[in-house]
Amino acid sequence: MTPADHALSCSRVSHSYPVDDAPVRALADVSLTASRGAVTVLAGPSGSGKSTLLRILGCLDRPDEGSVEVEGVVTTALSTRRRRALRRARIGYVFQDPADNLLGYLTVAEHVALGARLRGGDGTGGGSAAVLEALGVADRAGHRPAQLSGGEQQRVALAFAAAGEPPVLLADEPSAQLDRAATGLVVGALRELAARGHAVVVTTHDPEVLAVADEVIDLVDGERRERA
Amino acid sequence: MPTPWSRAPLMLLRRPVVALAVAAAALLVALPAAAAPLFLASAGNATLRQLTDASCSWQSGLQLSAAVPMSPTPEAPDDPTGAELVDRRVDTVREQTRDLPHLSEPVVTLSTGAAVSPAADPDQSVVTLVARDGFAGHVDVVEGGDGPGVWLPDRFARTQGLSAGDRVTLFGEDGGTSTRVAAVFRDLRSVPEQPYWCSLRETIHGTPLGNAPVYPVALAPRDEVLSVAENGDAGMRIERAVDTEGLTTVGGRPTAEGLDRLRATTVASPEPGIFDDSAPYGAAFTSSLGDMVNRSELVLAALTGTVVPLAAAGTLAGLVIAAAAGAFWADRRRAELTVLSARGVGPVALGGKAALETAGAVVLGAVAGWAGAHGLVAAVGPSPLVTPGATRASLVAAAVALVAALAAVAGVAGFRAGRLHDTRPARHRRWARVPWEVLPLGAAVACWFALDSDVQVRAAEAVGTVARIPPRLIVAPVLLAIGLAMLGARLVRWVLTRLRTRALTMNRPAAFLALRRVSAAPLVASVLVGAVAVPVALAGFGATVTGSVDRTMHAESQLIVGADAVLTLEERAPVPPELAGRAGVVTRYVDARLGDTTVHVLGVDPETFAAAAFWDPALPGPALTELLDRVAEPGGAAVAGVAAEDAGSVLTIRDGHRELTLTAVAQLPGKQAGYPLVLVDRALLEELAPTAQSQLWARGDPDEIVAAASAAGLPVSAVARAEDVQASGVYAGITYTFDFLAAVSLLTGVVIVVGLLLYLDARSRARRSASVLLRRMGVGAAAHWRALLLEVGGLLLAGFAAGTALAAVVIALTAADYDLDPGTAPGTLVAVPWPVVAVLAVATALTAVLASAAAQRAASAARPSEVLRDTR
């Protein structure tokens, strides 16, 4: 794998949260790279800093220290407005709760069309069918989120995030609220998206997700640990 | 393909609570903005109405006076005379004022002097013979009333032994006219004044302090008067009263200008032969309508300086709620905004979505605000009349308010949405540490010194001045109250933050829960306390200033006159039984000396004077009853207006002298500008000056007092009323200013209630969860409601207490300025508005109970299974 394949990387990222005016460390000196076509998994117990790191990688938070690059652009040096533009153009993000990923009044097809439109597409829905087909929810194109199961909602969320072909796809514990069967479908969707050329980064402690990882990065108490 | 933006306009229909909050916010922004121009116009129109009502409507409209020569003069042998001249003048006036609105039909009055014969008392046989159109409908007929002839006043008829049906001769300057007594009517001097006769007030009552003889007014048809005046002159008046129905400052202007044109053609440039100004037949033209319109506009100008800042403050308070509604919208749309913001949609686009969603509610709210302003001004404003220009201005103001409210909602929603991701919290902590309260406090000090402190407003036109509340007396205290409230809120926050980190041990779960909830959100709690304190402080301040200004002005006018009404009597008379206990006979002598100082002397009955005269317990020096005790002692007297040691102690009246034991005081009832006033026992004054003028002093409604005096047959020659001192619209602007301040305070109170409801709604999810969890822990619904009551009530009570304290501080700092006529004693008398404080306290308690009960009801309705599943 060459540096050109690295869609996403971070170097010596540290972050802390203020609690009652005292900082509590969430991340310390974490570095990683994620490549196109690969599924990179951030693993670790609750409170290990996985979600914090994912939000920093997705330009949803700024690190206290360290740098993040998305497709060669150092995002930590950018203004909030430019980071937002970068987020819109190059990053797809899926939250843990399906309700945080979808708009209740849009159908599945409309979500995908909106995603593409936000990334500069014409919004006519071109290409959305292929994404939905690839993630196995094409037959649900006319349904609204409330009419879908949890697994379907998460796969639609992935389709929404992947619409417009952003190079980076980030998913925060996408299987946390799903049963085993639904998790299987989501894991398949992640693999499918990686196969379509996205750099997929996922946080999880679900063995089923870990099983499809190309690379696993373990975090413990905000620090990266070498995997045994 | 639909998007969140294309779907936006109809989405709020599914969120009625948010729609209601946004509409309420827009209403609160639009209402004060739209109300200001309407209120100003209403106040101007009310002032005009007040001025026209307080003055004689004939004189405020058109009054053209001229002599009527009964025969040609050598200088103008061809000019019309007598009845022909009267008719031609009336025709001319009617023609030239035909198109002027708000004027009644012309009324013609002719008058001449006449001696009645036979008369039992020939020395008292002279009457003023008056012919006035429609007079028969405006007198109380005692006897007769049919057929031609002269109508005599009852006192005159009684004195002269005449009755209806008698034949009399009316002698003019040269020769007499025989006629019959057609009727006897109640003397116009002994009945309450009627508006119909007001332009003849001086003819009927004479001028106060005037020396000219005043003859009884007898009435007769026009030809009868002209016949008596056959070889001399008659006086003539043509009058058209102002019809105040629908009269506005704008509508009154064309009439005033038309009257000015009439003046130009009658007096300034007389119609040949009709209004010839060659002596002695010159015409005099009177119309005060133009001055009244100018004066009303002056009141309007005086109000603008205070009403506009108050309206702006109200609008800003509304905008704060609009901003809160924007935040409320963002909270209710948090999931959606999180989705879109995470995908790089910026705050402008999200604010635009908020604008698209809320535009309908904002428009509805703004329209309701404008309609509410219109309705409120019409219902409780100074006058229900507004001008078209004011309506247009209020529409523009409401439109601007609409845009501002929408911008506030969208701006805050966009700002909140933009902060969902990628924020820098450290920066906000720095902003929170900035002492923002310094801004309003500094502005208050700056305004106090920079703004106009003049209590008088003068216009370019010579219409005198009107009193007003100086802008600094409104703007600076309002800013001061806001600044101090912010400072107090910071203090509350500091205390709560310290409480949050302290371990609390409480046996009562409700108190523990309330304190924990309040201390868990110190910012919100402190803002709520400060936000409640401001309207309480403004309402308390406004009511205190209103009451104090009113009390001070009332005291000043009452002290000048001495009582509600002072009736000058032609001869000594007892107190009418109907006025017993609130009236007393007083004698006044105006040419006395105390040592070398010229003084006025008031002879009073120490037993009854305290009940008849005005006195305010807050006046400096000994109480009136205490003074009267000293006056009752032999040689006892009180003096105001001069120091006792400067005046000497010997009272001299004509050739009489009396050594007095003087008590010098700052003020006495009846003390007018100029001469010092000495108060002595009436018996002493009557001994020194048997001819001293008799007066009847009484408390109560002046009309009732005059009627009672009339019924008792008192010979009243003049009436002075304390209320007349404040008339003429001089103080109208002051009353209106505080009416508006009270309305703004009320509006701010509504703003706070809406804010409180938003506060409670925003926490409803957490409260629902807590309620369910507490129930599982054995804490019942009653304890939870008590906790809510303590939480909400505690914050509101703290706000109320802070507001009351703020009002006290502001009043203490500004009280000296509440006296709008500092040259007149007694200076500011502060009136503490206890009823207003009580109402505010009850409103605060009621709000706390209702709001907490509603919140408890919502929390109790929660089902544990749903709440426990709802993890967000």
Minimum-distance CB partner of A85 among B2, B344, B872: B344
Query: Of chain A residues 21-40, which have a CB less than 8 A from chain B?
Result: none
Query: What's the ipTM?
Result: 0.92
DSSP code of B823? T
Do B342 and A105 make contact, defined as CB atoms within 8 angstroms? no
Answer yes or no: do A113 and B1 touch at CB < 8 A: yes
Cis check: omega of the bond before B826, within 30 degrees of 0: yes
Residues in CB range of A22: below 8 A, 6 or more apart: none
Domain boundary among B683, B714, B745: B714
Domain co-membership, B51 together with B62:
no
Q: Distance (Å, rounded) from C-alpha B21 to C-alpha B357?
A: 13
Interval A189-225: pLDDT, tens? 889 889 988 899 999 988 888 888 999 999 999 999 8
Co-location of B169 and B268 in the same domain: yes
Q: Count of alpha carbons within 13 Å of B260, Cβ hemisphere only?
A: 9
Chain B touched by A68 (CB under 8 Å)? no
Asked if B338's CB is within 8 angstroms of A117's CB, the reply is: no
Instruction: List own/partner pairs for B161-166 with CB under 8 A and 24 or more apart.
Output: B161/B120, B162/B116, B162/B119
d(CA B200, CA B531): 58
Instruction: DSSP letter for B1, please.
Output: -
Are B651 and B603 part of one and the same domain?
yes
Among A37, A135, A124, smallest CA distance to A94 is for A135
The answer as to whether B446 is a domain residue is no
Test A59 with B338 for CB contact under 8 angstroms. no
Distance from CA of B500 to the nearest CA of A (A): 10
pLDDT higher than 80, residue A153: yes
Contact A60 B345 (CB under 8 A): no
Q: Please write the tens of the pLDDT for every residue from B30-84.
A: 998 999 999 999 988 988 888 888 788 888 888 888 888 888 777 777 778 888 8
Are the CB atoms for B58 and B199 separated by under 8 Å? yes
pLDDT band at B506 (very low <50, low <70, confident <90, very high): low
Task: Reply yes or no on whether the pLDDT at B466 is more than 70.
Answer: no
> In the structure, what pLDDT confidence band is assigned to residue B542 with cuts at 50, 70 and 90?
confident
The answer to whether position B443 is within a domain reads: no
Q: Domain boundary residue among B423, B450, B480? A: B423
Q: Is residue B614 part of a domain?
A: yes
C-alpha–C-alpha distance, residues B611 and B250, integer Å: 46
Q: Which domain holds residue B604?
A: 571-714
The answer to whether residue A88 neighbours chain B at the CB level (below 8 Å) is yes
Of B2, B338, B422, nearest to A83 by CB-CB distance is: B422
Q: Are B569 and B716 in contact (CB under 8 A)?
A: yes
Q: Which residues is B66 bridged to in the sheet? A: B236, B283
| Distance between CA atoms of residues B29 and B47, nearest Å | 28
For residue B504, being part of any structural domain is answered with no
Q: Using a CB-CB distance cutoff of 8 angstroms, which residues of chain B are in contact with residue A84? A: 344-346, 422
* Boundary of a domain, candidates B680, B714, B748: B714
Classify residue B787 by burial, with Cβ atoms within 10 Å: 0-12, 13-18, 19+: buried
Q: Chain A: give the shortest CA distance to residue B497, in Å.
A: 10
Cβ atoms of residues B849 and B785 within 8 Å = no
Q: What is the DSSP string of B137-206?
A: GGS-EEEE--SSSEEEEHHHHHHHT--TT-EEEEE-SSSEEEEEEEEEE--GGGS---GGGGGGHHHHH-
pLDDT-above-70 percentage for chain B: 89
Q: What is the pLDDT of residues B314-344, one digit of tens each?
A: 788 788 878 888 888 888 888 889 999 999 9
Does residue B512 sit within a domain? no
Q: How many helices (H) and strands (E) does chain A have?
A: 7, 10
Residue B729 is predicted with a pLDDT of 47
How many structural domains are present in chain B?
A: 3
Which CATH superfamily is A36-60+90-225 part of? P-loop containing nucleotide triphosphate hydrolases (3.40.50.300)
Whether B448 maps to a domain, the answer reads: no
The answer to whether position B835 is within a domain reads no
B148 shares a domain with B189: yes
> Rounded CA gap, B682 and B168, in Å?
44
**Helix, strand, or coil (residue B596):** coil
- 417-476 in B: which are within 8 Å (CB) of A? 421-422, 424-425
pTM of the model: 0.74
A101–B contact, CB cutoff 8 A: yes
User: Taken in order B814, B820, B825, B831, is the CA torsion positive or negative?
Assistant: negative
B584 shares a domain with B650: yes
Residue B775, in any domain of the structure: no
Q: Mark whether B107 and B160 lie in a shared domain.
A: yes
Claim to verify: residue B76 and residue B51 sit in the same structural domain: no
**Chain A closest-CA separation from residue B833 CA (Å):** 45
B2 prior amide bond cis, ω within 30: no
pLDDT digits (tens, 9 = 90+) for B139-161: 999 998 888 899 999 989 998 99
Position B856, amino acid: Q
Task: Determine the residue among A24, A60, A70 to mutate to test chain B binding: the one whose Cβ has the most chain B Cβ atoms within 10 Å.
Answer: A60
- Check if the beta carbon of residue B153 is closer than 8 Å to that of residue B185: yes
| Average pLDDT value over all residues in chain B | 82
User: Which chain A residues are Cβ-neighbours of B422 within 8 angstroms?
Assistant: 59-62, 80, 83-84
**Cis peptide bond N-terminal to B577, omega within 30:** no
Q: B64 and B202: one domain?
A: yes
The closest CB to that of B1, out of A58, A80, A123, belongs to A123
B422 → closest Cβ in A80, A89, A106: A80
- Please enumerate in sequence order all residues whose Cβ is within 8 A of that of B819, keeping only pairs 6 or more positions apart, or say none: B549, B552, B827, B828
- In chain B, residues 819-848 whose CB comes closer than 8 Å to chain A: none
pLDDT for the residue numbered B267:
73
Query: Is the same domain home to B583 and B672?
Result: yes
| pLDDT tens per residue across span B91-133 | 888 888 888 888 888 899 999 989 998 888 888 889 999 999 9
Say which residue, A9 or B852, is predicted with more confidence.
A9
Crossing angle between the packed helical segments B289-332 and B471-500, to the nearest 10 degrees? 20
Give me the residue spans of the domains in chain A: 36-60+90-225
| Coil, strand or helix at B420 | coil
* Residue written as token pair 């002005």: B553
Q: Is the pLDDT of residue B135 over 60?
A: yes
What gap in Å lies between CA B348 and CA B361, rounded to an integer?
Answer: 20
Q: Which residues of A162-182 are buried (b: 16+ CB within 10 A; e: fewer)?
A: bbbbbbbbbbbbbbebbeeeb
Q: Is B287 helix (H, G, I), strand (E, B) or coil?
A: coil
> Does residue B211 sit at the A interface (CB-CB below 8 Å)?
no
Which residues in chain A are contacts of B424 at CB distance < 8 A? 62
Q: Which of A64, A103, A177 to mutate to test the interface with B (most CBs of B within 10 A)?
A: A103
